[in-house]
Structure formats: structure tokens, C-alpha cells
Amino acid sequence: MKTVIPDTELLAEFKVHVDTTQCSLKAESFGSRQQMRGEEIEALAKAVEIISGKAVSGAADKHLPALVQKHALFLRSSITYSRRQSKAAELLTARAQKFGSKQLMQIATKIGEDPFAKVTQMIRDMIAKLQDEANAEAGHKEWCDGELHDNKLTREEKTAEVNTLTANVDGLNAKIDKLKAGIAQLTQEMTELDAAIMEATNVRSKEKAKNEETIADSTSAIEAVEMATQVLKEFYGKASGATALVQQSPADDAPASWNAPMTGQQGASKGVLGMLEIIHTDFTRLQADTTSEEDQAASEYAEFMETSQKDKELKYADRLAKQRAQTAKEFDLGNVQKDLKATQGELDAAHAYYVQLKPDCIADGLSFEERFQARQQEIESLNEAFKILSGEMDDA
């Protein structure tokens, strides 16, 4: 079922309309009563006139002087009071219709019905009551103005504080998120750096082993070639000495094939020794190149390891600083969030108090000034009516 929220302005208008209608109805009823009261006053006035004549007054002076004079005086007084009551009632009725005052209409109705003494006391009481209400409302307004002013300042102050603290919370969260991202990035870079160091170490280890093997093999080959060359050189050196035997006659019993001395492959010696020299040169170059490559690779690896280690130390220090900064920011965030919660509670309390003040201090209908003016008009009207009843204002 849909809840219908009443329009406060419409309700206020309706209330004023109802009050005005009630005043009009009472005014109509009062009009008929006043007509009757006027006719009654005319009848009483005529009766006084008759009684004051010779037929009654003269006889009364002669036979019942005190009694007739007393009743005649009472009758004249009643007429005077009735006229004053009627005039005061008319005044209050007109003012009630003009100002829409139910209180004036009630007094006007009472004036036409109640005894004179009761009416005057009732007016005195009503004036005193209205004055007390005016004083009380003035004091209440002063209190309301003070409370509303202080509450407004509190709400504005706490709203500003909440906005500032909320901005601080957002700023700290943003900084913490940035620090977390930086820490994650550094951690990833350190992991990648460790992987690169491990890979470079594995490659360097294999490369070094291969180079050492190549250098060792080259060294062995060079030594072997040098030995072979030395052997051949010694041989061919001895063989070349055998040419001296050619000048001596061979023994009588020497075989015919030994008619010439044995000197070996002297013609091919240069070719064999030349080949050994080429082999020696190749292995020497291989040994030198491999040694140079190994030295360069070792130097590059050492430089890479030194650079990587420094980079890793810097990243570790940077990550540690960011982690400490994150811890500090999270601590600050906790404090700011506590302040924000407390300040938000104070702001909510200020709003709740404002809601409580509204029914008593912020009227949906007439403002304080309008109510004060209406009350003053009622008091002035009652004072005028009282003057009429007390005879301070002439009937003329």
C-alpha cells in the first residue's frame, strides 16, 4: 500500500480555512443573538422610560420612593451594561473575523451570554494569558534562534570536517594503492633479476667449462705437435749426417743395395715439418682466441653480476622503504577513519537534533513575527473591549 505524505502547506491552508469558516459560522450565530439582544435592550429602555414617567415614578416617590428608585437604577444600569456588552461583542466579532481569531470569537460569544462581572474578569484573564503566551513565546523564540544558530554552525563545521577527512581517506587509500603497486613491481623485477642471474650463471658455467676444455685440448695438441716436430728434426738431422758415408767404400761383403747411404725422405721433410708448423699455429691461435674469449666472458659475467647485485640491493632497499611507507600510511588511515567515524557521528547527531528542533522552532504556518503581531492585535482588541465594558469609552 502506497503511503501518502501530506503537504504541510496544504494542511496549513486547510486549517486556516476551517478556522475562518468556524469564525464565520459563529459570527452569523452571534449576529442573530445580537439582534435579539438589541431588541431586548430597546424593550428594557422603553420599560425604563415608562417607569420613569409620572404614572410610576411620581407614585413611587409618593408611596415607594426607595424601592422604585433602587429598581429603576438597577434597570438603567442593566441597560447600560447590556449596551456596553453588545458594543464590545460587536467589536470582538469584527476583529475575530478580520484576524481569524477563535479566541476573540469565543470571548465575543461569552460577552453576549455571561454576566457583566464574569465577562470583564474573563477578558482580564484572557489578556493576561495572551501576554504570558507572548512572553513565553518570545523567550522560546530566543532559545530557538540560539539553538538553530548553534546547530547550523555545528552542522556546517562537521560537514566541512567530514569532507576534509573523507578527502584524506581517499588520498591515503590512493597513496597506499600506489605503494602496493610499486612494491609488486619491485618484487616482480627482483624475481626477474634473480632468474636472469641464474640463467647467466648457468650459461657462464657451461661456457667456462667448454673454453677450459678447448684451451686444455689446444695446449695438449701444441705440446704434441712440438714433440713431433722435435723428433722429426732430430731424425732428419741425424739422417743428414749419413751423407759422409757416401765417400767411403762399402765393405766387400755389403749387399748390393747398400751401395748408397740411407738418408730418409729428405725431400719430403720440409712438407711434413711445414704441416706440423701449420697445425701448431692453428692450435696456438685456437688457444689464444679461446683464452681471450674466456677472459672477456669472465669479465662481462663479473660486471653483469656486480651490476645485477647492486640493482637488486637498490630494488630491495626501495621495496623495503615502500613497505615501511605503506605501514605508516595504513596506520594514518586507521586514525583518520576513526576521526571520520566520530565526526560523522557528531554530524548525524546534529542533523537529528535539527529534526527535533523543527517542529517547535520552525513553524509550517505563521512565522513568529506573524504570530506575535496576531497576538498583539488580539490583546489590543480585548483592551478596547474592556474599556468599552468599563465605560472608559463613551457609547457615542
pLDDT of residue 111: 65
Domain-embedded: residue 23:
yes
Overall domain count for the chain: 1
Whether 380 is covered by a domain: the verdict is yes
Residue type, 138: A
Classify residue 257 as exposed, middle or buried by CB count within 10 Å of its CB (0-12, 13-18, 19+).
Answer: exposed
String of DSSP letters for 226-294: HHHHHHHHHHHHHHHHGGGGGGSPPPTTS-GGGGS----STTTHHHHHHHHHHHHHHHHHHHHHHHHHH
Structural domain including 378 reads 11-113+369-390
C-alpha to C-alpha distance for 346 and 240, rounded to whole angstroms: 121
Residue 17, domain member (yes or no): yes
159, part of any domain: no
Q: Is residue 219 part of a domain?
A: no
pLDDT of residue 120: 67
Q: Is residue 280, in this structure, part of any structural domain at all?
A: no
- pTM to 2 decimals? 0.51
Digits of tens for pLDDT over the chain (396 positions)?
444 444 445 444 545 454 555 545 544 554 554 454 455 445 444 544 544 545 444 544 554 444 444 444 444 444 555 666 677 777 777 777 777 777 677 766 766 555 555 666 777 777 777 777 777 677 777 888 899 999 999 999 999 999 999 999 999 999 999 999 999 999 999 999 999 999 999 999 999 999 999 999 999 999 999 999 999 888 888 877 655 444 454 555 555 554 555 455 555 557 788 898 999 999 999 999 999 999 999 999 999 999 999 999 999 999 999 999 999 999 999 999 999 999 999 999 999 999 998 887 876 555 556 666 776 777 777 777 767 766 655 544
Distances (CA, A) of 217 to 220, 283, 332: 5, 9, 68
* CA 1/CA 84 separation, integer angstroms: 59
**Domain annotation covers residue 90:** yes
Which residue bears the cell 449576529? 31
pLDDT one-digit tens code per residue, 311-347: 999 999 999 999 999 999 999 999 999 999 999 999 9
